[in-house]
């Protein structure tokens, strides 16, 4: 009886998860009447708007990841090494983006950094892009910080630092050549998750009026029938790829450590 | 080290977190504070409760109410279904090969939110979706006649469950793994039935985890904007969509009322997260 119930629960879940994926896949192939075709994908991929917005979001994601690593790795390292008493506070701050809805934060951006404010970031396209990148880094902060901090827990930060210092290394060398290689799997996990978050993000990009992939998908969804389903399949594949890469990196790092 | 050098070394320690502090201050704390302070100000900058009181109109009340309903029901159902699936793959005696794919898939699905998720559901149970059309052409069942509408409260709930259930599975599976075999054996030795074990041992231990996760799922659904907008456009009156419209075009006709609307959202998600954190601490007493 117990096992029977378990099967019911599992199959119910599997069906509920599979149907929307099946639905969007089927819909994305149905652009031509009566026969399955890749027309919807062709239409989407050939759309210059798709190419432009997708490229924009990929570049944004890469900059967000670079900024996130530069911000989080030294901070997490420093807090562990020199200011352990501050850890609960820093951890709390990094979790705040999960508590405060993103739409509220971006509302604040629009008021604080508009053209008539002390720091008019939204005055230029470049300034707004940078503001959006900071917003994305803020969204990704909980995941990035937790990943890196977990990675740092596994290594002896103090001993590694002292060893490097006694060999004459400065802070930059220690971070780049000692700490970063040791937490690289964790950093990569955070990076892939950041990529998955940024690539389809809608609210911030739309309200800051940037030509990103998320708002493009939403506009297409309001105007077309089959193309959105193709976009959903593409977005799902990207999310899946990011998660697969995270698993791969984690597995690879476990393997490397076990061998030593 | 002399006193002066020690002070300087201490000061240098603090320099290391200045970039982080500046970033969090400028792009998280200050923007939020600006909204919170704005909620208690008149346009001239004087202190007032008028904006908060101004939220008490039929339309805003309704927006909050629908949001609360969608968030609560999707959290409740997400918890119940997610728990059942997690229990099935941990304790249900299913083949072990079924566990990892479900966990991996949950990792993907819990991150598959926003605009594409809405598209997937439109393609499935929207007016021309796969299931809708199949039921109509093959079985002669017109879902519309039965009151089904994807662009409604329940449509939103069914869609949100696609990331709520996986999130519950991801969070509760470790807790289920933490149930010690000895507890079950001890209960059985004392003559407990399976049901009694669950009711009197396992569920009381898991209860803080389950309730805590529910609070997290609630906050998760409450702040979701993109899925709702892509699914229903601006037609459905829920708090995040109303705030979105307010930011774009001041539909409420008062910027400070907009701040109050956003402040209300912070209060609700903040309270839900407080409950989550408090219950999490309680849960960790038993599950280590």
Q: What is the pLDDT of residues A65-95, one digit of tens each?
A: 999 999 999 999 999 988 888 888 998 899 8
CB A148 within 8 A of CB A155: no
Chain A CB contacts of B14 below 8 Å: 83
CB-nearest partner of A218 from B28, B229, B266: B229
Rounded to 5°, the CA angle A229-A234-A237 comes to 125
Residue B259 lies in a domain: yes
Using pLDDT thresholds of 50, 70 and 90, give the confidence band for residue A113: very high
What's the pLDDT score for residue A260?
44
Chain B CB contacts of A112 below 8 Å: 30-31, 34
- What tokens were used for B6? 């020690």
What's the pLDDT score for residue B206?
87
Q: Tell me how close the Cα of B261 comes to any Cα of chain A, in angstroms.
A: 10
- What tokens were used for B73? 């029901």
Chain B CB contacts of A5 below 8 Å: 88, 92
Chain B CB contacts of A138 below 8 Å: 23, 27-28
What's the pLDDT score for residue A13?
92
Q: Phi and psi dihedrals of B110, rounded to 5?
A: -70, -15
Answer whether A202 sits within 8 Å of B23, measured CB to CB.
no
In this complex, how many residue pairs, one in chain A and one in chain B, have their CB atoms less than 8 Å apart? 254
Domain boundaries, chain A: 49-259
* Nearest chain A residue (CA) to B106: A17
DSSP string, chain A: -HHHHHHHHHHHHHHHHHHHHHHHHHHHT-SSTTS--SHHHHHHHH-HHHHHHHHHHHHHHHHHHHHHHHHHHHHHHHHHHT-GGGHHHHHHHHHHHHHS-HHHHHHHHHHHSSTTSSS-GGGSHHHHHHHHHHHHHHHHHHHHHHHHHHHHHTS-HHHHHHHHHHTT--HHHIIIIIIHHHTHHHHHHHHHHHHHHHHT--HHHHHTT---HHHHHHHHHHH-SSHHHHHHHHHHHHHHHHHHHHHHHHHHHHHHHHH-
Q: Has residue A258 got a pLDDT over 70? A: no
Nearest to A190 by CA among A134, A132, A128, A136: A136
Using pLDDT thresholds of 50, 70 and 90, give the confidence band for residue A112: very high
- Residue B132: half-sphere exposure toward Cβ, Cα within 13 Å: 20
Residue B20 lies in a domain: no
SS3 call for B47: strand
User: How many domains are contained in chain B?
Assistant: 1
Residue B214 lies in a domain: yes
pLDDT in tens, chain B (288 residues): 567 777 777 777 888 899 999 999 999 999 999 999 999 988 888 888 888 888 888 889 999 999 999 999 999 999 999 999 999 998 887 888 888 889 889 988 988 888 999 999 999 988 888 888 888 888 877 877 777 888 888 999 999 999 999 999 998 998 888 888 888 888 888 888 888 888 888 888 888 888 888 988 999 899 888 999 998 877 788 999 999 999 988 788 788 899 999 999 999 999 988 888 888 787 777 655
What's the pLDDT score for residue B99?
87
- What tokens were used for A234? 């593409």
Residue B227 domain boundaries: 56-283
Other beta carbons within 10 Å of A43:
15
Q: Tell me how close the Cα of B269 comes to any Cα of chain A, in angstroms.
A: 6
Phi-psi region of A168 (alpha: psi -120 to 50; beta: other; left: phi over 0): left
Residue B165 lies in a domain: yes
The dihedral of CA B194, B200, B203, B209: what is its sign?
negative
Phi-psi region of B173 (alpha: psi -120 to 50; beta: other; left: phi over 0): alpha
How far apart are alpha carbons A107 and B38 in whole angstroms?
A: 11
- What tokens were used for A154? 């596994």
CATH number of the domain at B181, please. 1.10.3720.10
Residue B41 β-bridge partners: B47
Chain A CB contacts of B230 below 8 Å: 202, 217-218, 221
Q: Tell me how close the Cα of A3 comes to any Cα of chain B, in angstroms.
A: 5
CB B17 within 8 A of CB A79: yes
Q: Tell me how close the Cα of B242 comes to any Cα of chain A, in angstroms.
A: 11
Chain B CB contacts of A98 below 8 Å: 219, 273
Q: Say how many Å lie between the first and final Cα of chain A, rounded.
A: 47
Q: What is the pLDDT of residues B104-160, one digit of tens each?
A: 899 889 888 889 999 999 999 888 888 888 888 888 778 777 778 888 889 999 999
Residue B193 lies in a domain: yes
Is B240 in the A-facing interface, judged by CB distances under 8 Å?
Answer: yes
* Nearest chain A residue (CA) to B275: A99
- Find residues 202-221 of chain B whose CB sits inside 8 Å of chain A: 219
Model pTM? 0.89
Residue B60 lies in a domain: yes
CATH topology of domain A49-259: MetI-like fold (1.10.3720)
How far apart are alpha carbons B104 and A240 in whole angstroms?
A: 9
ipTM of this complex: 0.90
Answer whether B94 sits within 8 Å of A3, measured CB to CB.
yes
- Find residues 41-100 of chain A whose CB sits inside 8 Å of chain B: 71, 74-75, 78-79, 82-83, 86, 90, 93, 96-100
How far apart are alpha carbons A238 and A249 in whole angstroms?
A: 16
- Find residues 126-185 of chain B whose CB sits inside 8 Å of chain A: 128-131, 161-162, 165-166
CA quadruple B39, B43, B49, B54: dihedral, nearest 10 = -80
């Amino acid at each position: 009886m117990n096992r029977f119930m378990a099967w019911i629960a599992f199959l119910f879940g599997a069906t509920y998860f599979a149907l929307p994926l099946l639905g969007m896949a089927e819909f994305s192939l149905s652009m031509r009447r009566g026969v399955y075709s890749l027309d919807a994908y062709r239409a989407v991929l050939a759309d210059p708007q798709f190419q432009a917005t997708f490229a924009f979001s990929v570049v944004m994601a890469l900059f967000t990841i670079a900024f996130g690593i530069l911000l989080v790795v030294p901070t997490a390292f420093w807090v562990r090494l020199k200011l352990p008493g501050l850890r609960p506070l820093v951890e709390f701050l990094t979790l705040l983006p999960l508590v405060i809805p993103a739409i509220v934060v971006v509302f604040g951006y629009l008021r604080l950094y508009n053209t008539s404010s002390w720091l008019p970031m939204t005055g230029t396209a470049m300034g707004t892009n940078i503001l959006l990148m900071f917003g994305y880094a803020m969204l990704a902060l909980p995941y990035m910080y937790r990943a890196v901090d977990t990675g740092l827990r596994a290594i002896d930060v103090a001993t590694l630092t002292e060893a490097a210092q006694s060999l004459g290394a400065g802070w930059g060398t220690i971070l780049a050549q000692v700490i970063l290689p040791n937490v690289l799997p964790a950093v990569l996990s955070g990076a892939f998750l950041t990529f998955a978050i940024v690539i389809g993000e809608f609210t911030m990009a739309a309200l800051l009026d940037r030509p990103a992939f998320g708002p493009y998908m939403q506009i297409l969804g309001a105007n077309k029938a089959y193309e959105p389903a193709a976009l959903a399949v593409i977005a799902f594949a990207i999310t899946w790829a990011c998660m697969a890469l995270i698993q791969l990196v984690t597995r690879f790092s476990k393997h490397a450590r076990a061998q030593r | 080290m002399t006193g002066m050098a020690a002070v300087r070394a201490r000061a240098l320690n603090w320099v290391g977190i200045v970039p982080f502090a500046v970033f969090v201050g400028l792009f998280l704390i200050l923007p939020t504070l600006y909204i919170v302070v704005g909620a208690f100000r008149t346009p001239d900058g004087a202190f007032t409760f008028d904006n908060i009181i101004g939220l008490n109109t039929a339309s805003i009340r309704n927006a909050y109410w629908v949001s609360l309903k969608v968030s609560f029901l999707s959290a409740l159902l997400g918890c119940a279904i997610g728990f059942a699936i997690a229990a099935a793959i941990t304790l249900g005696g299913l083949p072990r090969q079924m566990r990892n794919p479900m966990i991996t898939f949950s990792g993907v699905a819990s991150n598959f939110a926003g605009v594409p998720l809405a598209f997937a559901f439109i393609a499935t149970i929207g007016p021309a979706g796969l299931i809708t059309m199949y039921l109509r052409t093959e079985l002669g069942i017109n879902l519309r006649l039965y009151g089904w509408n994807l662009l409604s409260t329940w449509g939103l709930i069914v869609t949100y469950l696609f990331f709520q259930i996986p999130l519950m599975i991801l969070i509760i599976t470790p807790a289920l793994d933490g149930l010690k075999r000895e507890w079950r054996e001890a209960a059985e030795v004392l003559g407990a039935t399976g049901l009694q074990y669950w009711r009197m041992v396992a569920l009381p231990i898991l209860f803080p985890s389950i309730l805590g996760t529910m609070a997290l799922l609630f906050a998760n659904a409450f702040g979701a904007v993109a899925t709702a907008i892509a699914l229903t456009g601006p037609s459905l009156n829920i708090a995040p969509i109303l705030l979105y419209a307010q930011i774009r075009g001041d539909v409420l006709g008062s910027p400070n009322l907009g701040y109050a609307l956003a402040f209300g959202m912070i209060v609700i998600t903040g309270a839900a997260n407080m409950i989550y954190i408090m219950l999490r601490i309680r849960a960790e007493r038993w599950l280590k």
